[in-house]
Chain A
Amino acid sequence: MTKVTMTVNGKSVSAETEGRTLLVQYLREGLGLTGTHVGCDTSQCGACVVHVDGKAVKSCTVFAADLQGADVRTIEGMANADGSLGVVQQAFQDHHGLQCGFCTPGMVMASAALLAENPKPTEAEVRHYLEGNICRCTGYHNIVKAVLAASGQDMPAVAAE
């Protein structure tokens, strides 16, 4: 067992974990933060994306024990202080960027990471950045639209319909 202390959504948390405990297991089972989902076992789907020290990371592909001192943010930490939806979350609702909601936490976290790195991405940049997040419901149309909207940019004509 390894003792690990990290910050999750602004709160310091500490636990004894097995070496093999994945970050996503620690979040879901240890902290009850079940918003982060597991959609595959090959690090492909991105449903588990969270931020580690501000960067998008697949929480199914990192050990909790490797994150001593890290600052972790999950979907549960994305709303505004007053509980209202954050900019990316709100854009996803406004533009119907989610259907079943299962990939959504990862999509929101990846999108937020993109906008932090690149506040005004092109459509192609959005699509490229999200290639590690699989959605089966939306055909990606409204996700891309939501991210462009969250960036405050004008929508391409075909997406604006």
Chain B
Amino acid sequence: MHNFEFVKPSSIAEAAKALSSDGAQALSGGQTLLPTMKQRLAAPEVLVSLTGISEMQGVCMGDGGLHVGAATPHAVVARDAAAHYPALASLAGGIGDPAVRNRGTIGGSVANNDPAACYPSAVLASGATVVTNTRKIAADDYFQGLFTTALEEGEFITSVIFPVPQKAAYVKFNQPASRFALTGVFVAKYADGVRVAVTGASNEGVFRWTEAETALAADFSPSVLSGLTVDAGNLISDLHGTAAYRANLVKVLTGRAVTSAR
């Protein structure tokens, strides 16, 4: 990979300053960015590690729900969110593999917005708030397509706030090689409705399956899905599954998420 200057600030303010320079790139756990840099597909001049910022670490209940520091590794979310938001903890515990979970962070995943990443589905299905160094962004406004988000140049996520649902579950069907989500569905039932977010399936990244949300709001039971169809028109077709197959997975996995929600 190309060389770069490595800096590791210890506060959000320092990080913001470091990231304001040209050619600077934020580094969180690096579990996606490093392989990309090895392929020379990314070549920052300055790499700003966010893992040394203590105010971006940890999981706790607070205003608006569960606050997860952006630099919190998946393994810590899997452990520390379990009592508060088991579906989120379970999702975090299923990302990648244990070594990836010890380094990879929620902030990195949500900022990168890989169309096959797990976390975006939880953020969107929970109607979470993405907190950055400059503002708060509602999940519905945050995700803007493949690897595209509302984040602006130099802006970085500091935490994500998850309203805790009455019941929720995430069900993932692995792409057999990468173990990313070939399709993953996060279903969250709140007092005022149900949100269903799908990752891995669409050419436009994570999306809400609103027909299912409406049906499940009326009756939170997998049987209500039987009459629904998933439009395969904009779903991904690749080596690992056709659009029709992914459409089927969306429906099957949504049903399984409803069944296993707790």
Question: In their complex, do chains A and B touch, with some C-beta pair under 8 Å?
Answer: yes
- A→B interface (CB under 8 Å): 2, 18-20, 22, 41-44, 46, 49, 52, 55-58, 60-63, 65-66, 68, 110, 113-114, 129, 131-133
Q: Could you jot down 22 A-B contacts, CB within 8 Å? A: A18-B3, A19-B3, A20-B2, A20-B3, A20-B37, A41-B39, A55-B75, A56-B98, A58-B31, A60-B34, A61-B34, A61-B103, A62-B30, A63-B27, A63-B30, A63-B47, A66-B8, A66-B27, A66-B30, A68-B8, A113-B98, A129-B97
Q: Smallest distance from the beta carbon of A116 to chain B beta carbons, Å?
A: 11
Contact A20 B4 (CB under 8 A): yes
Tell me the complex Cα distance, A132–B2, Å: 27
Known: A41-B35, A43-B31, A63-B30. A132 touches B100 (CB 8 A): yes
> Shortest distance in angstroms between B115's beta carbon and chain A's nearest beta carbon?
17
Q: Ordered nearest first, which 3 A-B pairs have the shortest CB separation?
A: A132-B97, A19-B6, A65-B6
Q: How far is the CA of A77 from the CA of B179 in the complex (A)?
A: 30
Q: Report chain B residues within 8 Å CB of A131.
A: 97, 179
B51 part of interface (Cβ distance < 8 Å): yes
Partner of B97, one of A2, A46, A62, A66: A46
In the complex, what distance in Å separates the CA atom of A26 from the CA atom of B256? 45
Q: Which residue from chain A places its CB closest to the CB of B5 in the assembled complex?
A: A19
Q: How far is the CB of B175 from chain A (nearest CB, A)?
A: 12
* Contact partner, B31, options A61, A65, A66, A110, Cβ 8 Å: A61
> How distant is the Cα of A131 from the Cα of B99 in the complex, in angstroms?
10
Whether a CB of chain A sits under 8 angstroms from the CB of B38 is: yes
What is the minimal beta-carbon distance from A136 to any residue of chain B, in angstroms? 15
Tell whether A110 pairs with B34 under 8 Å between CB atoms, given A20-B1, A66-B49: no
List CB contacts (< 8 Å) of B1-33 with chain A.
Answer: 1-6, 8, 27, 30-31
**CA distance in complex: A157, B35 (Å):** 41
Contacts of A62 in B (CB 8 A): 30, 34, 103
Other A-B contacts than A18-B3, A66-B6, 4 sampled, CB-CB below 8 A, are A19-B4, A41-B38, A42-B35, A56-B99
Contacts of A41 in B (CB 8 A): 35, 38-39
Select from chain B the residue with minimum beta-carbon distance to A109: B99
Expressed in whole angstroms, the Cα–Cα distance for A42 and B34 within the complex equals 9
Residue of B nearest to A129 (CB): B98
Given A19-B4, A55-B75, A65-B6: A43 and B34 within 8 A (CB)? yes
List chain A residues, Cβ under 8 A from B47. 19, 63
Q: Mark B30-54, 1 if CB is under 8 A from A, else 0.
A: 1100110111000000010101000
Residue of A nearest to B96 (CB): A132
Docked CA distance A127–B179 (Å) = 14
A43: B residues at CB distance < 8 A: 31, 34-35, 100
Residue on A nearest B49 in the bound complex, by CB = A66
Chain A proximity of B72: nearest CB distance (Å) = 14
Partner of A110, one of B3, B5, B99: B99
Query: Is B242 an interface residue when CB atoms closer than 8 A count as contact?
Result: no
Q: Which residue of B lies closest to A69 (CB)?
A: B52
**Distance of A20 Cα from B33 Cα, bound (Å):** 12
A58 with B35, Cβ < 8 A, contacts A18-B3, A66-B8 known: no
B33 nearest in chain A by CB position = A61
The yes or no answer to B178 lying at the interface (CB within 8 A) is yes
- A132 pairs with B98, CB closer than 8 A: yes
Nearest chain A CB to B93's CB is how many angstroms away?
10
A58 & B100 in contact (Cβ 8 Å cutoff): yes
CB-defined contacts of B103 to chain A, threshold 8 Å: 57-58, 61-62
